[in-house]
Amino acid sequence: MPSQDHYVELSRQLLRAVRGRRSQVDLSRRIGYRSNMVHRWEAGECAPSAATFLALCQKQRVDVAGALGRFYGRPPVWIAEHGATSNAAVAALLRDQKGKVALGELARATGYNRFTLSRWLKGQAEPRLSEFLHVVDIASQRLLDFIATLTDPAHLPLVQDAWARLNRVRDVAYDEPWSHAVLRALELDEYRNGGFREEGYLARKLGIDLPTAARALEALEESGQVRRVRGRYEAGEVISVNTGRDAQRARGLKVQWTEEALRRLAGGRPGLFGYSVFAVGRAELLRLRELQLEYVRAMEAVVQGSSANDCVGLYCVQLLDLDAGAENALAPAAETPEPQRADRARYSRASAQHRNPVE
C-alpha cells in the first residue's frame, strides 16, 4: 500500500501538470496570492487544500463540474448546492467514496485518525491535497480515473506506469468480457484444490466453450493479470477496474451479460428471473432505482464477506420507464447519481475487480 509520502509527491506532480506552461508566479496571482505560493506547493514547503487545488484547476480552464460528472457517471446531486470547488463539495465527495464503510476501517486503511477523518467528512476541516488523494484512493480504488478527469495521468511520472497497466486491463475487460468470469473462477476453492488439473475445467464451470475460455486466459496472461505457477493459473497484482469509463463500450458489456442471462433463461437454466409491469409516479420510480442501488451495495458487502468461493454468480438488473419520449423518468438529466463507494476499502479478493455501475 502506498505511503503518505507517495501522495505528497503525487500532489506535487499533479500541481505541475495542471499548471502547464503558465509560470508559478502568474498562477499564484491568478488564484489570489501576492507571493509565489505555487512554487512553495510544488517544492513541498507547504500544501494547498483539496478545495484550493480544485479552484486552481478551474482557473486553468479545467471544467471541474464536468470532471466530477465524468467521475460519477453523471453530475452529483450535491453540486447544485455546493458547487464543484468548495470545501463542502470536497466533503460531499469524500462521503460518497466512504459509502457504508465504517469510519474505523477507513482510519485503519489510511492511517488518519477517526477524529480527523470525521471532520473532513463533515466539512469542518479541509484536507490537504495529498490527504484528499490518499482517502479517495483507498476508499474508491479509482484515484487514477479521478485524476484523469483533470489531467492526463500519463504525464505524472509517479503513476504513468500504473495508468498504462490499468488501461491494458480495462481493454481486456471490454474486448474479452468472459475474462472477468474466468478471473472469478480462478478464485474458486475447487479450482485451487485440484480442479486446475482437469482439462476444460473453466469452460465447464462457467458454461462456455473451450475457445472462449482459452481466449480469456490468454488475454489475462498477456495483460499481467494472471500467471501460470506449477500447472495452474494464479492472479497477479490486484487492479480495481471501473468499466463504466467508456460509456459506449460499457453499454456493450451490459448488453453482453444481459444476453447471457437471457440465453440461460431461454435454455431453462436455474436462476432467479422475473418481471413486473406497473404504473407509478416519477418520484417513486426514482426511489425504486435508489432501492436497487442500495441492494447492490448490500450485495457487494455480502460478496466481500464470503468465507468460501464455491461458485461464480451473475447479477443483472433492468429497471425501465417504458415511455420512449423525452420525459422518460430515468433519462440521464433526471437520474440520481450512484455514489462511487468505499465498499471495497479492504479487499479480500486476489484478482482484479471489475465494476460496471447499475444504471
For 282-328, write each residue's pLDDT tens digit.
999 989 988 988 888 788 878 878 888 999 999 998 999 988 776 78
Nine cell digits for residue 185 = 473462477
Three-state DSSP at 301 gives: helix
Beta bridge partners of 227: 234
Residue 11 CB neighbour total at 10 angstroms: 25
Nearest to 312 by CA among 208, 211, 217: 208
**What distance in Å separates the CA atoms of residue 195 and residue 183, rounded to the nearest whole number?**
14
Nearest to 235 by CA among 176, 294, 177, 169: 169
- For residues 350 and 192, the model is more confident at 192
Which tens digit of pLDDT belongs to each residue from 34-91?
999 999 999 999 999 999 999 999 999 999 999 999 998 889 989 999 999 999 999 9
**What distance in Å separates the CA atoms of residue 79 and residue 65, rounded to the nearest whole number?**
7
CA dihedral defined by 129, 135, 136, 141, rounded to 10 degrees?
A: 140
pLDDT at 129 over 50: yes
Nearest to 140 by CA among 49, 241, 69: 241
Judge whether 202 and 180 are in contact, CB under 8 Å.
no
Beta bridge partners of 241: 354
Nearest to 133 by CA among 4, 302, 282, 318: 4
**What distance in Å separates the CA atoms of residue 285 and residue 302, rounded to the nearest whole number?**
26
Nearest to 243 by CA among 158, 332, 358, 99: 358
pLDDT at 338 over 80: no
Return the amino acid letter for 20. Answer: G
As a whole number of Å, the end-to-end CA separation of the chain is: 31
Give the pLDDT confidence score for residue 294 in this predicted structure. Answer: 85
Give the pLDDT confidence score for residue 235 in this predicted structure. Answer: 84
The mean per-residue pLDDT over the stretch 5-30 comes to 96
Give the pLDDT confidence score for residue 310 in this predicted structure. Answer: 92
Sign of CA dihedral 94, 98, 99, 102: negative
Domains of the chain, first to last: 4-158 (no CATH), 163-235 (1.10.10), 243-355 (no CATH)
Confidence (pTM): 0.83
Give the pLDDT confidence score for residue 246 in this predicted structure. Answer: 87
Return the amino acid letter for 347. Answer: Y
Three-state DSSP at 326 gives: coil
Q: Report the percent of the chain where pLDDT is more than 70.
A: 92
**What distance in Å separates the CA atoms of residue 97 and residue 140, rounded to the nearest whole number?**
5
Per-residue burial over 186-214, b = 16 or more CB atoms within 10 Å of its CB, e = otherwise: bbbeebeeebbeeeebbbebbebeeebbe
Judge whether 297 and 341 are in contact, CB under 8 Å.
yes
Nine cell digits for residue 335 = 437520474
Nearest to 312 by CA among 245, 255, 259, 257: 257
